Amino acid sequence: MIGAISPYLALYFAAVGLSISQIGILVALPPVMRIIGPPFWGALADRSGQRGPLLRVSSAAAIVLAVGIWLAGSHFAALLVLIALLQFATSAQSPLSESMAISVAAGDSGRYGRVRLWGSVGFTGGVVLMGPLLDWLGTSGLPLLLALMAAAVLAVAWRLPEVAPPRPVAGVPVWGRLREPALAAFFASCFLMMLAHAALYAFYSLHLHGFGYSKTFIGLAWTIGVLAEIVVFRVQKRLFDRFGALPLLAASFAAAALRFALIGWGGGALAVVVVGQLLHAITFGVHHSAVMALLHRWFGPAEQGRAQAMYITLGYGLGGAAGGIVASRLWEHAGPAAAFYGAAIAAALGWGAVALCQRFDYARSSDDRRRMP
């Protein structure tokens, strides 16, 4: 469903006759909803222990809202409300499903990776299959296709095995744990990684189009990146068993700084495009799994929904929104290459934040060992 929304929603808005400024407002809603929605759903899930039922509620809401978008046509005010509500509803899917997957995997990075890779497979399927479907049905049929996908999500969510709800434990509120130096540095790195990737998600297709690449090739380039991350998800257990989550997290930032610097420098050269997309396996695949492993380590079972929500809010929400603004300003005033050089700088700063996190985490672990009888 995300693979169908991300590349094609702007095309739908154009097909129904909205202006560029109206489209710009509508496509800016997802990062905003990632700031508002995940904390709400994560807190509700942790307090109620009902992650499966909440997934079903969000999926059912998505069906109704997708049909509403189709009925709204070109009425901008109605679309503004409906798109915001759709993004709010679907923002439940990631924190709830990730926390369920982590609970089932019990911290096993290999088992988690074998589950998570299907998200990448689904995204690729959405990107690849939606183009021919929209050519056949017309772009105006996109909301109805989204409604069908949401119905499929609802059907699958209804079949999910119930995971025993964790018992709430007393302690410091999840957001209050940002006062811990290691966690503050960790979440700062998440913010910087999403800030860096905003240039990629918002402008990379436009960057390649500017060098004369066709839409077919651009779609293929994105597919290369997703296939590379699938490979990493499949074999990551050996990586995590050998190196550990924090060193791999640091490596993902080094790879991201290299990747975005190459894109800025490469001038659209084919070899640079291929190498840059293959690095997606590390900058997204390894980074995401390392983040999930660390959230599982640092937060208890009854905190996982809120921890996931905090990651999405600080990373994809605030980081994505800030990154889109920064990248667009750099692109407009200094050129496309500057947007990606800025992303490389953000990734390098994120590497520094991870280094601080490693230092603080080691100091905390040493203190814990000294306190042991």
DSSP string, 219-288: HHHHHHHHHHHHHHHHHHHHHHHHH-HHHHHHHHHHHHHHHHHHHHHHTT-HHHHHHHHHTHIIIIIIHH
Q: How far is the C-alpha of 196 from the C-alpha of 179, rounded, in Å?
A: 24
Give the pLDDT confidence of 296-314 residue by residue, as tens digits.
888 887 777 788 878 888 8
Q: Do domains 1-162 and 174-373 have the same CATH topology?
A: yes
CATH number of 174-373: 1.20.1250.20
Q: What are phi and psi of 41, to 5 degrees?
A: -70, -40
Q: What are phi and psi of 284, to 5 degrees?
A: -110, -55
Where are the chain's structural domains?
A: 1-162, 174-373
pLDDT at 368: 46
Four-residue CA torsion sign, 46, 47, 49, 53 = negative
Longest dimension (CA), the chain: 70
pLDDT at 260: 97
Q: How far is the C-alpha of 141 from the C-alpha of 121, rounded, in Å?
A: 23
Phi-psi region at 173: left, alpha or beta (left = phi > 0; alpha = psi -120 to 50): beta
Q: Are 191 and 315 in contact (CB under 8 A)?
A: yes
pLDDT at 372: 42
Name the amino acid, one letter, at 299: F
Report the CATH fold assignment for 1-162: Growth Hormone; Chain: A; (1.20.1250)
Best CA proximity match to 57, nearest among 29, 84, 91, 81: 91
Q: Are 295 and 102 in contact (CB under 8 A)?
A: yes
Give the pLDDT confidence of 58-101 residue by residue, as tens digits.
999 999 999 999 999 999 999 999 999 998 998 888 777 877 77
Q: How big is the CA angle at 310 (ends 307 and 314), to the nearest 5 degrees?
A: 150
DSSP calls for 1-65: -HHHHHHHHHHHHHHTT--HHHHHHHHTHHHHHHHHHHHHHHHHHHHH--HHHHHHHHHHHHHHH
Q: Which residue's entry shows tokens 């599982």?
A: 296
Q: How far is the C-alpha of 364 from the C-alpha of 354, rounded, in Å?
A: 15
- Answer whether 0.85 is exceeded by the pTM: no
Four-residue CA torsion sign, 210, 212, 214, 220 = negative
Name the amino acid, one letter, at 76: F
Mean per-residue pLDDT, 356-369: 71
Give the pLDDT confidence of 135-182 residue by residue, as tens digits.
788 878 889 999 999 999 999 988 887 666 555 554 557 778 888 999
